[in-house]
Structure 1
Amino acid sequence: MKILPSSLREKKRYIAFKVVTESGDPVDRKVLLDEIYFATQTLLGDTGSSEIGYRLMDFDGFRGILRVNHGAVELARAAIATVYVIKGTRAHIFISGVSGTIRAATEKYIVPENIASTNILSIQIRHGRMSGTAVREKGDEIDIVPDEREVLKRGNTRYLSLTSSDTVTNQQE
């Protein structure tokens, strides 16, 4: 059987969400999907469930990304909003946002809450007119949150990244 060309395939949307339970424990992937499918089946029936076309792309126990069909985003949001119990524990699913790609959903709506502490965490860096706070070190790279938030808006990003060669040249100047 041949694969459909991309121009004939149905478009997808990605829903970024966060699960909050009363106990605060992480949620199992399969249990979450079962609850979402049950809520969708109860609210929309067989035809409505088939229109949505759920697929859980990524989930870490608290946050995740759910793929749905382009025309069924509002149905999916309505069905997800009806989930109030997950495996006997009261829970709520907060939808952070909807995006056209996984990358955009991750960058815009899945905020890294627990940044691992490093030896440079929260060190103030200044160079010329630019200044910011180093928040993460990964190998030769340093992630910096600039003090001037307008830089982030113009670049449509959360932080700037420098390599060790950038910092060495800055120190020599």
Structure 2
Amino acid sequence: MRHLPKHLRPRWRYLGVEIETWPNTRVSRGQFQRELYFSAQNLLGDAVSARMDCRLLGFDAVEGMASAVVRVRRGDVEPARAAIACIDTIGETPVRVRVRGVGGTVRSCEERYIRRPLETPEERTVAFENSEQQAFVRQQRVAVCTDSGFAGATDFDIE
């Protein structure tokens, strides 16, 4: 079987995606791929999501953080960004998903938008709600361990 000529081959764009969740959870590749498919299907319908052909090419995860490279057809970048923005939970875990940028090749997407190695949160004791609590700090975001789970905070909320 012969290859298609270059002008008939599908053109692709690659989205660099950042996923953040609570520090004690890890998102798996399969879970994120499933949520991506369901989000595209629910938002755009079967025909558009099949044409868009969202595929997860690269995935790297640590506790509380993950990064991914998602492949979509060239004309469907904006619908794909909308479908990715609709993801708010993976399984039962709440997540923050952000498209960092779009590249024309996998390599350019990884070099520009995927941080390697992923940052691991710093663990420290903070003053929160008039008591000392364990917290995980990433840049200016703080996840404070409370009795009912985690509470999101910033540097200004803790002492």
The normalised TM-score by structure 1 is 0.62
110, 113, 124: which one pairs with 1:109? 113
Give the partner amino acid of 1:100: G
Q: CA deviation at 1:113?
A: 4.3
1:72 aligns with 2:90: no
Q: 1: distance between equivalents of 2:31 and 2:95?
A: 12
Matched-pair identity in % = 38
Q: CA deviation at 1:50?
A: 1.2
Is the Cα–Cα contact under 8 Å of residues 15 and 66 in structure 1 kept in the other structure?
yes
Q: 1: distance between equivalents of 2:96 and 2:48?
A: 22
Give the partner amino acid of 1:10: P
Is the Cα–Cα contact under 8 Å of residues 13 and 73 in structure 1 kept in the other structure?
yes
Specify the SS of the correspondent of 2:14: strand
Q: 2: distance between equivalents of 1:102 and 1:24?
A: 30
Q: CA deviation at 1:25?
A: 2.3
Q: CA deviation at 1:90?
A: 0.6
Gaps of 5+ in 1: 116-173
The normalised TM-score by structure 2 is 0.67
How many residues align? The count is 115
| Runs of 4+, deviation exceeding 2 Å | 22-26, 111-115
Taking a change above 3 Å as real, the CA distance of residues 88 and 100 of structure 1, as seen in their structure-2 partners, is same
Is the Cα–Cα contact under 8 Å of residues 23 and 89 in structure 1 kept in the other structure?
no
Q: 2: distance between equivalents of 1:90 and 1:101?
A: 30
Q: 2: distance between equivalents of 1:34 and 1:95?
A: 17
Q: 1: distance between equivalents of 2:50 and 2:118?
A: 37
User: Match of 1:38?
Assistant: 38
Q: CA deviation at 1:23?
A: 4.5
User: Match of 1:21?
Assistant: 21
Query: Which structure has greater strand proportion?
Result: 2
Q: CA deviation at 1:86?
A: 0.4
Q: CA deviation at 1:22?
A: 2.9
| RMSD of aligned Cα (Å) | 1.6
